[in-house]
Amino acid sequence: MGNRTLLKALCGTVAACLMSFIGVGMSHADEVTKVGFVYVGPVGDHGWTFRHDAGRKAVEAEFGDKVKTTYVESVNEGADAERVIRKLASSGHDLVFTTSFGFMNATAKVAKQFPKVKFEHATGYKRADNLSTYAARFYEGRAVIGNIAGHLTKTGIVGYVGSFPIPEVVRGINAFTIAMRKVNPNAVVKVVWVNSWYDPGTEGDAAKALIDQGADIIAQHTDSPAPLQVAEQRGVHGFGQASDMSAFAPKAQLTAIVDNWDSYYRDRTRAVMDGTWKSTDTWGGIASGMVEIAPYGDAVPDDVRADADAVAKAISTGELHPFQGPIVNQAGETVVPEGTTLSDEELLGMNWYVEGVQGELPK
Amino acid sequence: MNFDLYLPTLLTIITAATPLVFAAMGELVTEKSGVLNLGVEGMMLTGAVTGFAAVVVTDSAILGCLAAMAAGMLTALIFAFLVLGLQASQVATGLALTLFGIGLSALLGQDMVGIAYAGLPKLQLPIVSDLPVLGPLLFHHDALVYLSFVLPAAVAWFLYRTRAGLILRAVGDSHDAAHAIGYPVIAIRYMATLFGGAMSGLAGAYLSLSYSTMWVENMSAGRGWIALALVVFATWRPWRVMFGAYLFGGITILQLYAQAFGIAVPSQFMTMLPYLATIVVLVVISRDESRIRQNAPACIGKPFHPSA
């Protein structure tokens, strides 16, 4: 019997720990604004989730005692997401950020049930009176690194480690390829899909497969530093994803596209405090500061830096659009004639490759 | 695929299969003693972070591997105490151990994120490393890969050719009978569980010190679960477990190389293929029911009361 009592006590402790882990706090006095964050990966991924968590910390730094932030990390995009979001909504949070595309339906559903709580969903398209969407035009950053890759590839083959064949990722591949071929018309992009946002081992293996087949520059749209690290070990180059990953690949990293959510999260939290929050749809790029280019690595010569800076500047001033015509698809047809530019709607639904990407896009 | 690609492809397959071999061999011995430890993933992660931390602090690859094994054993000891000492449910405790390991490793690894490590040194062996083809394929690896080559042989020899292995299998097949003869059932299960923990820890060390030489949270990405499944689908036979690990690793890597080569198969299907093929092949080669019954530890997952 002694054992059983001990077990019960253990179970109780474990349950209590879990509850506090999920962030089920008692409701607080009203002057404290509670902001919740739902992450798809671990905060220590050094990539996507890491940057969102940096934004959360920026909110805490800005408002101090007036806010209380909660986060739940590594939330599965399946049914579990709805439970976690509801838990945050029902435990007194005023504002909840859900930071992965796969949380869209769960966020929309919970938002309907909690009309007083404000929700913000990253990279989705479903909105409501209390549900905003926000995303960054990462393809602008991809155009800048594509320019660098075009200048620096010697084999003319650039490897691209993809996560899932969704428009967001396809758009990045296309923006990268278009910019690359502007400076190096013969270079091609080979894509390997790992069908995961985060699996360091397999991401690294994908990079090995690409390097073994001639790629001397590795770009990635997965969240861990593993592909870049493989590039370092194999003596080729690559680009960091979501955050500056030079610590993992001091020689290999040419630069990185850095997500910066800090000011957006601060502004939206302030709007909730002021009572001025409205449902919006934000899609910020280089100009808004949401997309940053990390300091260049030593392997990027001065003329290339100057050209990449010029591309970034032209994009931020609106002088250059990464998807302005003429754009040719894989079949060689001109899909965007000279003088026109793809609209945001067309970009959001992009499901075709431009010329210069090898292989077929998985449907 | 052109010929130049065979060697790099095979090398990548070896590195992908190695962590699975360690974790599955450890779990095989644990399960053969009648204990089902579902905490492999948690023990791997704890081993990965501890091994990485030890290397960062001491700069010694050997200490790193030993620390990873010790960390795996320590987490296995918690599990063993709960299920063997307190008779808690093995399934529930094993699942809890995985959750615990994920959280604990993230906590311990907070300061380890972003530190670079060059990777375990590659050991060149005399004569064999200079052999054409086989040399670069099999004998240009780090010590852990060599160990993974001999581990299945050692486990098979121990289980089927030694008295201690016979006793361990007896404990797994009928703890009551083994107890009646006078064997210390609980002590033997403790040791088998600790061995499983040590091997999972070593698998973790391979992840953070060789496969991807860094620490990032949750870096095992489900490999512990694959190791668990391999043991069952290989019907608890060491060589088949190794074969399954290489089959799984092999197809995972082949589909990546095929994609880079431009072979037009839906990548979602390619990603599913390793799981599907491994299960189908292992089930087909092991479909003889009497052999399964002969190899499956009859007492797996059942609690043992010495008084009974």
Residue among B14, B211, B256, B275 with most chain A CBs within 10 A, to mutate: B256
Q: Return the residue matching tokens 């909660």.
A: A70
Q: Among A170, A41, A21, which Cα is nearest to A99's? A: A41
Averages of pLDDT over each 10 residues, chain B, 308 residues: 75 94 97 95 96 94 96 97 94 94 90 81 83 83 93 96 95 92 94 97 95 88 92 90 92 88 76 82 78 84 78
Spatial distance between the Cα atoms of A222 and A197, rounded to a whole number of angstroms: 5
Give the mutation candidate from B210, B211, B216 for the A interface (greatest A CB count, under 10 A).
Answer: B216
SS3 B132: coil
Please give the distance of CA B84 from its chain centroid, rounded to a whole number. Answer: 22
- Which of the residue ranges A25-39, A120-134, B7-21 would you say has the lowest mean pLDDT? A25-39
Residue A121, SS3? Answer: strand
Does residue B278 sit within a domain? no
Q: Does B5 touch chain A (CB under 8 A)?
A: yes
C-alpha B61/C-alpha B276 separation (Å) is 36
When CB atoms are compared, the residue of A194, A201, A206 closest to B211 is: A201
pLDDT 10s digits, A156-179: 999 999 998 888 899 999 999 999
Are residues B221 and B131 in contact, defined by beta-carbon separation less than 8 angstroms? no
Cis before B274? omega within 30: no
Region A4-21: mean pLDDT is 49
Helices B143-161 and B163-173: crossing angle in degrees, nearest 10, is 70
pLDDT confidence of residue A16? 46
**Domains of chain B: total:** 1
B293 Cα to chain A: minimum distance (Å)? 33
φ, ψ at A238 (rounded to 5°): -165, 180
Domain contains B48:
yes
Query: Half-sphere exposure of A275 toward its Cβ, with a 13 Å CA cutoff?
Result: 1
Question: Which of the residues B5, B212, B219, B305 would you substitute to probe the A interface, choosing the one with the greatest number of A C-beta atoms within 10 Å?
Answer: B212
pLDDT at B2: 55
Give A20's pLDDT tier (boundaries 50, 70, 90). very low
Q: Which of A279, A311, A243 is nearest to A115 (CA)?
A: A279
Residues 6+ apart with CB under 8 A from A301: none
Residue in A264, A201, A353, A359 with CA at minimum distance from that of residue B261: A359
- Give me the pLDDT at residue B245, please: 94
Asked if A191 has any chain B CB less than 8 Å from its own CB, the reply is yes
On the question of a cis peptide bond just before residue A165, with omega within 30 degrees of 0, the verdict is no
Higher pLDDT, A23 or B135: B135
Distance of CA A198 to the CA centre of its chain: 12
Mean residue pLDDT across chain A: 89
The three-state secondary structure class of A80 is helix
Length of chain A: 363
Q: Least CA distance to A214: which residue of chain B?
A: B260
pLDDT of residue B290: 80
| pLDDT tens digits, one per residue of A304-350 | 999 999 999 999 999 999 999 899 999 999 999 998 999 988 998 89
In a domain, B305, yes or no: no
Three-state SS at B6: helix
| Confidence category of residue A46, pLDDT binned at 50, 70, 90 | confident
The reported pLDDT for the residue numbered B291 is: 78
Q: Rounded distance, CA A105 to CA A126, Å?
A: 8
| Residues of chain B contacting residue A218, judged by C-beta atoms under 8 Å apart | none
Q: Which residue has the higher pLDDT, A359 or A273?
A: A273
Asked whether residue A12 carries a pLDDT value surpassing 70, the answer given is no
B168 inside domain = yes
Residue B296 domain flag? no
Residue B253, domain member (yes or no): no
Q: What is the set of domains in chain A, with CATH numbers? A: 26-136 (3.40.50.2300), 138-257+292-358 (3.40.50.2300)
Q: How far, in Å, CA of B190 to CA of B195, rounded?
A: 9
User: Is B52 within a domain?
Assistant: yes
Q: Flag whether pLDDT at A29 surpasses 60.
A: no
pLDDT of amino acid A360: 83
Rounded to a whole number of angstroms, the distance from the CA of A19 to the nearest CA of chain B is 14
Phi, psi torsion values for A134, nearest 5 degrees = -150, 150
Q: Would you say residue B85 lies in a domain?
A: yes
Domain hosting B53: range is 3-112+129-224
Q: Which of A199, A213, A233 sits opposite B261 (nearest CB)?
A: A213
Q: In angstroms, rounded to a whole number, what is the distance separating the alpha carbons of residues B142 and B134? A: 15
Query: What is the model's pLDDT at position A24?
Result: 42
Inspect the interface and report whether the beta carbons of A205 and B261 lie closer than 8 Å: no
